[in-house]
Every structure is written in C-alpha cells, then in structure tokens.
Structure 1
C-alpha cells in the first residue's frame, strides 16, 4: 500500500467512513479532496480526527505521526488501539447506541484496532535486518 493515500477500512455496520492516514502527504490529499485545505495535519503522536457534514459524522481518520516509526512496537500499537476506541465512541454516538453490550463493544474495538494495525503495517517500510554471514 502507498504511504501517500488514506487506507479505507470496510466500515461494516458503522455509519461513517473510517480510514488510516499514513502520512502528511496523504492528509493533504484527503483534505484537499474534501475542500478543506485549511485543516492542518495533526501534530500529536496519534489522533482520531472526526469530519462532519450537516451535524453528522462522515469520516473518522486515524493518524500516527511518522516520528513514531522508530518505535514500531507495543507503544505504537497501543496508540492505534487508543485511537480505535475514539472511532468506536464516535460510531456509537452516530448509531445512537447508548449502552451496547460489553461483547458488542469489545468486538467493535477489536475490529477497528486490527484494521488500523494492518493499515499501519502495510504503509510502513519494513525495518531492515542485517544479514548474518
């Protein structure tokens, strides 16, 4: 997958588009396509940005700072889970689901998190490994 394009996940039952934005270049392309050229690239390690139209969520976009690439391990995956919970919270609000069952909530967060981790890994260059002589 290309690092200059948003990776869209299958939204399934969720009432909005959900994407992983792998880079500032991808972000700029996205906001330009939405006519929002003034929306700055998130400056935090990770973020879930919500875009709305007419009071309804249209897109949830998760970003992970490219500086986190040096730490492509548990802390980065934990950030993706954290942001996935925010995506779930937004989806729950849009679905007007005040008290989902614990199992439904767990599966929803698991699904979003797994999709985000897959998108993250697919858009990052693999770490180089030293060949053994």
Structure 2
C-alpha cells in the first residue's frame, strides 16, 4: 500500500505459473509487476513515491528433513506463522517452497511424519 502514512492505494499481485529464468523465484515477476504498476499509479495520483512503505520479507529455506519444533521457533521469531500438519517430528513437505520471499504474518505449512530409525 502507498503512501505509508496515508494509504491511497492497495495492490495485490499474483502470477499463475510464471515462466521463470534460471535463478529466478516466483516473487520476481510479482515484484516487477508491482513496482511498475504502483509507480505509475502514484504518478497518476500525483503522490510522491518516496512515501511508499518498505515491506520486510523473509526468504524461505528448505525445511524438509529438519525438526518441526526447531523450524517452528525460527519461523515464529522471523514473524511468520508456521502451521504444523501431522504428529510432529521430521518435516516431509513444506509450502511455500524454498526461495520464496514472504512478508511478516505469512503462513508456512509444514507437513510432518515420524522419522523411522533403522
């Protein structure tokens, strides 16, 4: 939203199945669309773009095979909202996947399964 002190614009951008270059993440095309549209909208409304709020983001890592309780604490301290699915223990799947930039308050789903020792 922009400007930060008196929001006049709120924007939500989603890109379904983006065509990504090697090394690009899903947030990259969203960022390009957001920046372009927001800057043009602010100019149209005659609003100074320097008042646009900066949003803190957190880059998601690969949590598969890690302990759910440890990851949960790390995500909570980063301002995210982890959702543990299953009985706890080792993480077997996660959503969103590694590399995505999330804003504070975003949900991170962690599917767990009991680790079978040999």
> What is the TM-score with the length of structure 1 in the denominator?
0.31
Which of the pair is proportionally richer in helix?
A: 1
Larger CA Rg, structure 1 vs 2: 2
